[in-house]
């Protein structure tokens, strides 16, 4: 690497990815080559990307102009700290997913492996390009490429009708959102006709137009992120996609929307009105609560994770909202704290959610089941997957000392720091939001215990599960990589926070770094140790020493005798796996407590039924009250348009004639 | 780390370990007396622990290692919890390792582990217990956090030692926000420690049991550790309540000799607290399981009202 700029390395990585994609198409059905050579190569490129991004964070932005695109309209690219940070996430998480994918894709029905390889790497490249883009044109091209390539990946099993439906819904909402983003850029360039971000930065918009741009961006990026009420595609698309693709989409692609929102609200827009933050905060909280409540009642493991992603996106949006509120009052240190929490959660969620999705992929391959009601007891047949998933589950539930807890802790801290705001109403309101976030986090724990307990613990609910095999070597390595980061980010938060620091300094001119370096690498203390501190390593040591001393003392003072017997059957004559709680049973208390959230259809057996069956369907109010009416309206309008089309040439000629007359009339006047 | 800090830390841990079963015995003894029974004596928990440690452990044949690890982890979590809560002194070297939020996280780790272990065997009772425990947990946890938020908003810190030092030094006045928080905290403690209005520690009836259903498959040393851990949890909650709402007599870094007075003060406060706990338990009836969410939701609301009151009145 002789005097290469980081941005050159990034562009090289993109080129190699595209090359890999082309090689995949050439070797369309040579499964071994595609899986064992191309995917690992793509993973290596991810690592190179992460390395280049790591070098870049905190240094001066690099720019490049690609001679691609339309005449007079080249692609402007720029790599600054914020972009580099998100590239780091893509690289580090993508590496694990690519390695896993090397062992995951199997021969069989659906898209041939070579084509999948192309779509997969184009998807990765387009996400990187979204983050690099420095003008609206390049951004939209990359954004649409990302949507299309992921659409083809989602519909890899395109023969199944539900996959087709999921793909259609995804594509539809992705494009509705893209319109919002496009309009937002239109507002941002303020009639100057120059669509580069550099130009947008220097424009000063009136508060009205700035707010319009913000709302449009919120709509557009919210649709991609899964913000309420634009979330409906997520729980459909994630289960339909192959697991590494779900991991990419949930772990990384959703974060590009967060990136876009941050880029627009902190970099391109200068006017800051506090109600932007308030709106985002309210929407974020609603999204988080909605997502987690729905996650607890799901019976499909990938849908459960999809709803959990909605929850996490909600938390991120709430954090950004808080940061915007602080920003509006020019409290840069607090803005930095809230942003740090957001960015930390971006990384942490990317790792643990990818890990969990990959784990469901391994379970799906081993058992062929996605339905929680037909799984169980897999910890005995798939110990590797189970224990690695347990790490992801802990991180996802926000339990110390894993990565999820650090971001939750930072987020709660930033909410508790509010009493300096000049607005007394906000002062009063925001710590209560912290209480709601605590509720969301606790519910996430419920959902995750259900997820892990029903899949991996207990007795197998089906006979065939006993033949389940553990994941292969590639899959293990991929999951191990992600799990290791879930632990490392939980134990050594200050290293990442120092990186985030450069990002927040470049965005809002302040960071936590000074405090973290002052208070040694062991303690995470946003302002001072007396104010608040958390030392994950000491925490872990404390628990571990407690465990080990207890273990040693018990063994020394008493004995280690152990007898294995059948479990206690409470005096019943027999005990079967069907007596365990089902996934529905585990979610039942939540269904009862949060009943107004759900649209439930119950089917209860009558006493006369020969084969009594009990069924409950949990639906989404938004679908019935928002989407179906819109769909009906569009169908109605389309029907009206249809009346114009009579299918006879003479009628169409009449239309042309009438239009012509009308035009002439206009011209005459 | 100063020597006195190290000593007070060690003293806090050792005292928690040995005083916790005594507190449990004291509460149970008072329950018996209040119910006109003679009772087994306050030392009964020690005898029971000793007996259980001597017995061999019976483990279900298909139990995974998670099942055998869980009691140790739960025990370790509770020991750490007792170590970071300022019971005797606010001069605790371990305290910066975990603030109020991390303490709640610590309790959550223990809860998740024991719930997962209960699901591991795959019996009807285990999963039922796990579900109910998590149900209580997801409502109690935010309520507890909100209580701690109220205290930390008053004292401008989430570090437990700073909170307690601040509350101990304020001039004597009844903080309305703390009063709300105190009621909420009491309700949460009853739920978290499986005491009567929410759960009955003395029952094995499937319709009502929560905690006992969780640990139904445990025996021998594993059960002993879990019982000891739940005694520690009761101790931790009691001490947390005392430290937040009656923070007098707790020693500070500048006055290491105050430790000598801190022990009798703590024992005195715990004795009264234990009696009150037994009294409330005797006076109230066990709730139906689906009244529990209402109970805890009102605790949550009370805690949130506490926060609101703090902002409205500034106190």
Per-residue model confidence as pLDDT tens digits over A133-189: 999 999 999 999 999 999 999 998 888 888 999 999 999 999 999 999 999 999 998
Residues of chain A contacting B253 with CB distance shorter than 8 Å: none
pLDDT at A215 over 50: yes
HEC profile of A287-303: HHHHHHHHHHCCCEHHH
**Helix and strand counts by DSSP (H, E) for chain A:** 26, 5
Residues 411-470 of A with CB under 8 A from B: 412-413, 416, 419, 424, 427-428, 431-432, 434-436, 438-439, 441-443, 445-446, 448-450, 452-454, 457-459
* pLDDT tens, residue by residue, A558-567: 888 899 988 8
d(CA B84, CA B106): 11
pLDDT at B66 over 80: yes
Q: Whole-model pTM? A: 0.94
Q: For residue B310, give the chain A residue with the closest CA.
A: A428
Give me the pLDDT at residue B1, please.
57
Question: Across chain A, what does the average pLDDT equal?
Answer: 89
d(CA A9, CA A20): 16
pLDDT at B256 over 70: no
* A449–B134 C-beta distance less than 8 A: yes
Q: Is residue A637 part of a domain?
A: yes
Q: How many residues in chain A?
A: 669
Q: Is residue A538 part of a domain?
A: no
* pLDDT tens, residue by residue, A246-278: 999 999 999 999 999 999 999 888 877 889 999
Q: Is residue A628 part of a domain?
A: yes
Give the H/E segment covering residue A319. Answer: helix A301-328
d(CA B229, CA A14): 54
* A562–B59 C-beta distance less than 8 A: yes
Disruptive mutation site among A449, A527, A557 for chain B (greatest number of B CBs within 10 Å): A449
pLDDT at B208 over 90: no
* pLDDT tens, residue by residue, B90-144: 888 888 888 899 999 999 999 999 999 999 988 888 888 999 999 999 899 999 9
pLDDT at B262 over 50: yes
* B134–A564 C-beta distance less than 8 A: no
| Cα→Cα distances B182→A63, B148, B167, B186, Å | 58, 10, 13, 6
Q: Is residue A569 part of a domain?
A: no
8 A C-beta contact, residue A217 and residue A334: no
Residues of chain B contacting A551 with CB distance shorter than 8 Å: 72
Give me the pLDDT at residue B239, please.
93
Disruptive mutation site among A386, A400, A421 for chain B (greatest number of B CBs within 10 Å): A400
- Kindly give, in sequence order, each residue whose CB lies less than 8 Å from that of residue A471, ignoring residues fewer than 6 positions away: A103, A362, A365, A366, A382, A384, A385, A479
Q: Show the domain range for A616.
A: 594-644
Give me the pLDDT at residue A98, please.
94
* pLDDT tens, residue by residue, A508-550: 887 776 655 555 677 887 777 777 888 899 999 999 999 999 9
* A561–B57 C-beta distance less than 8 A: yes
* pLDDT tens, residue by residue, A69-100: 777 788 899 999 999 999 999 999 999 999 99
d(CA B306, CA B311): 9
Q: How confident is the model at residue A1 (pLDDT cuts 50, 70, 90)?
A: very low
* pLDDT tens, residue by residue, A27-61: 887 888 888 889 999 999 999 999 999 988 888 88
Q: How many residues in chain B?
A: 315
Dmax of chain A from CA atoms? 107
Q: Is residue A221 part of a domain?
A: no
Q: For residue B64, give the chain A residue with the closest CA.
A: A380
pLDDT at B89 over 70: yes
Disruptive mutation site among B289, B311, B314, B315 for chain A (greatest number of A CBs within 10 Å): B311
pLDDT at A314 over 80: yes
Helix A424-456 vs helix B124-155: angle between axes, to the nearest 10 degrees?
Answer: 160
Residues 391-410 of A with CB under 8 A from B: 394, 397-400, 405, 408-409
pLDDT at B172 over 80: no
* B149–A434 C-beta distance less than 8 A: yes
Better-scored residue on pLDDT, A396 or B199: A396
Under DSSP, the state recorded for A402 is S
* B152–A453 C-beta distance less than 8 A: no
- Kindly give, in sequence order, each residue whose CB lies less than 8 Å from that of residue A541, ignoring residues fewer than 6 positions away: none
* B303–A529 C-beta distance less than 8 A: no
Give me the pLDDT at residue B278, please.
93
Closest CA to A353 of A306, A303, A385: A306
- Percent pLDDT > 70 in chain B is 97
Where would I find the H helices in A419-472? 424-456
- What is the average pLDDT across B27-46? 92
pLDDT at B201 over 80: no
* A435–B112 C-beta distance less than 8 A: no
Residues of chain B contacting A450 with CB distance shorter than 8 Å: 134
For residue A469, how many other CB atoms are within 10 A of its CB? 12
Nearest CB neighbour to B119, from listed A394, A453, A544: A453
d(CA B51, CA A415): 48
Nearest CB neighbour to B141, from listed A442, A448, A538: A442
Domain count, chain A: 1
Q: Is residue A607 part of a domain?
A: yes
* pLDDT tens, residue by residue, A597-623: 888 888 888 888 888 888 888 888 888
Residues of chain B contacting A579 with CB distance shorter than 8 Å: 123-124
Give me the pLDDT at residue A519, please.
57
Q: For residue A426, give the chain B residue with the closest CA.
A: B311
User: For chain B, which residues make up each domain, given as ranges?
Assistant: 3-313
CA distance A505 to chain B (A): 25
pLDDT at B271 over 90: yes
Better-scored residue on pLDDT, B204 or B219: B219
Give me the pLDDT at residue B255, please.
67
* A568–B123 C-beta distance less than 8 A: yes
Nearest CB neighbour to A542, from listed B97, B122, B126: B97
Q: Is residue A285 part of a domain?
A: no
* A413–B308 C-beta distance less than 8 A: no
Closest CA to A64 of A80, A51, A48: A80
* B101–A427 C-beta distance less than 8 A: no
Give me the pLDDT at residue A2, please.
53
């Amino acid at each position: 690497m002789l005097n290469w700029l980081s941005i050159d390395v990034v562009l090289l990585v993109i080129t190699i990815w595209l090359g890999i994609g082309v090689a995949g198409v050439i070797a369309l059905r040579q499964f071994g080559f595609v899986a064992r050579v191309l995917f690992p190569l793509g993973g290596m490129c991810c690592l190179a990307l992460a390395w280049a991004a790591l070098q870049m964070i905190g240094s001066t932005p690099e720019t490049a102009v690609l001679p691609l695109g339309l005449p007079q309209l080249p692609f402007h690219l720029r790599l600054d700290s914020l972009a580099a940070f998100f590239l780091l996430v893509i690289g580090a998480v993508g590496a694990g997913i690519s390695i896993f994918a090397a062992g995951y894709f199997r021969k069989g029905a659906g898209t041939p492996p070579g084509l999948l390889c192309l779509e997969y790497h184009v998807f990765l490249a387009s996400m990187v390009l979204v983050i690099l883009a420095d003008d609206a044109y390049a951004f939209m091209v990359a954004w649409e490429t990302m949507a299309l390539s992921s659409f083809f990946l989602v519909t890899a099993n395109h023969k199944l009708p539900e996959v087709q439906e999921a793909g259609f819904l995804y594509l539809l909402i992705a494009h509705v959102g893209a319109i919002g983003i496009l309009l937002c850029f239109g507002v941002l360039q303020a009639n100057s006709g120059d669509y580069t971000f550099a130009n947008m930065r220097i424009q000063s918009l009136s508060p009205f137009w700035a707010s319009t741009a913000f709302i449009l961006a919120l709509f557009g990026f919210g649709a991609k992120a899964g913000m309420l009420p634009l979330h409906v595609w997520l729980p459909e698309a994630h289960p339909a996609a192959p697991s590494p693709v779900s991991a990419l989409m949930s772990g990384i692609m959703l974060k590009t929307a967060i990136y876009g929102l941050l880029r627009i609200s902190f970099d391109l827009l200068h006017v800051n009105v506090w109600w932007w933050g308030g709106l985002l905060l309210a929407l974020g909280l609603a999204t988080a609560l909605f997502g987690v409540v729905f996650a607890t009642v799901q019976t499909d493991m990938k849908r459960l994770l999809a709803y959990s992603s909605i929850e996490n996106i909600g938390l991120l949006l709430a954090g950004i909202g808080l940061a915007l509120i602080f920003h509006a009052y020019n409290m840069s240190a607090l803005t930095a704290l809230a942003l740090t929490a957001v960015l930390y959660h971006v990384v942490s969620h990317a790792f643990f959610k990818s890990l969990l999705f990959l784990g469901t992929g391994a379970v799906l391959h081993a058992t062929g089941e996605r339905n929680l009601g037909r799984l169980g007891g897999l910890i005995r047949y798939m110990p590797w997957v189970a224990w690695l998933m347990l790490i992801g589950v802990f991180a996802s539930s926000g339990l110390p000392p894993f990565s999820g807890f650090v971001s939750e802790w930072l987020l709660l801290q930033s909410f508790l720091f509010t009493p300096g705001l000049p607005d007394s109403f906000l002062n009063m309101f925001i710590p209560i939001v912290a209480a709601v976030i605590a509720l969301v986090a606790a519910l996430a724990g419920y959902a995750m215990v259900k997820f892990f307990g029903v899949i991996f613990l207990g007795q197998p609910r089906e006979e065939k599960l006993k033949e389940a095999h553990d994941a292969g070597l590639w899959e293990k390595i991929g999951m191990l990589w992600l799990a290791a980061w879930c632990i490392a980010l939980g134990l050594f938060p200050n290293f990442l926070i120092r990186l985030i620091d450069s990002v927040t300094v470049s965005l809002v001119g302040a960071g936590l770094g000074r405090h973290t370096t002052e208070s040694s690498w062991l303690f995470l203390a946003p302002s001072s140790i007396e104010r608040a501190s958390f030392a994950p390593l000491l925490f872990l040591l404390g628990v571990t020493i407690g465990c080990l001393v207890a273990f040693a003392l018990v063994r020394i003072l008493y004995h280690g005798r152990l007898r294995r017997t059948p479990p206690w059957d409470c005096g019943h004559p027999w005990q079967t796996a069907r007596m365990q709680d089902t996934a529905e049973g585990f979610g039942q208390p939540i269904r009862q407590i949060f009943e107004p959230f759900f649209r439930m259809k119950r089917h209860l057996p009558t006493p006369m039924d020969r084969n009594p069956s009990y069924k409950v369907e949990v639906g989404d109010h938004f679908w019935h009250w928002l989407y179906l009416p819109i769909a009906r309206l569009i169908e109605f309008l389309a029907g009206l348009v249809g009346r114009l089309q009579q299918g006879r040439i003479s009628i169409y000629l009449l239309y042309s004639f009438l239009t012509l007359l009308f035009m002439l009339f206009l011209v005459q006047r | 780390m100063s020597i006195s800090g190290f000593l007070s830390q060690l003293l806090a841990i050792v005292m928690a370990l040995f005083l916790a079963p005594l507190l449990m015995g004291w509460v149970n003894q008072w329950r018996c007396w209040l119910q006109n029974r003679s009772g087994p004596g306050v030392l009964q928990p020690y005898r029971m622990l000793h007996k259980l440690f001597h017995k061999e452990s019976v483990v279900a044949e298909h139990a995974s290692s998670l099942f055998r690890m869980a009691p140790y982890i739960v025990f370790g979590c509770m020991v750490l919890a007792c170590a970071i809560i300022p019971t005797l002194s606010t001069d605790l070297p371990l305290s910066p390792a975990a603030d109020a939020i991390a303490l709640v996280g610590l309790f959550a780790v223990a809860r998740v582990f024991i719930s997962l272990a209960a699901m591991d065997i795959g019996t009807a009772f285990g999963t039922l217990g796990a579900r109910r425990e998590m149900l209580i947990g997801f409502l109690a946890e935010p309520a507890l956090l909100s209580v701690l938020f109220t205290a930390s908003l008053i004292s401008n810190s989430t570090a437990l030692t700073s909170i307690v030092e601040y509350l101990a030094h304020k001039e004597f006045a009844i903080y309305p926000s703390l009063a709300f928080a105190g009621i909420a905290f009491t309700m949460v403690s009853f739920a978290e420690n499986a005491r009567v209005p929410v759960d009955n520690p003395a029952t094995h009836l499937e319709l009502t049991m929560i905690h006992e259903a969780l640990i139904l498959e445990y025996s021998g040393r594993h059960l002993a550790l879990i019982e000891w851990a739940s005694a520690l949890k009761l101790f931790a909650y009691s001490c947390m309540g005392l430290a937040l709402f009656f923070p007098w007599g707790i020693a500070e870094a500048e006055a290491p000799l105050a430790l000598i007075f801190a022990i009798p003060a703590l024992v005195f406060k715990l004795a009264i607290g234990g009696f009150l706990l037994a009294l409330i338990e005797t006076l109230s009836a066990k709730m139906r399981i689906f009244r529990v969410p209402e109970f805890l939701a009102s605790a949550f609301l009370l805690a949130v009202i506490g926060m609101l009151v703090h902002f409205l009145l500034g106190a």
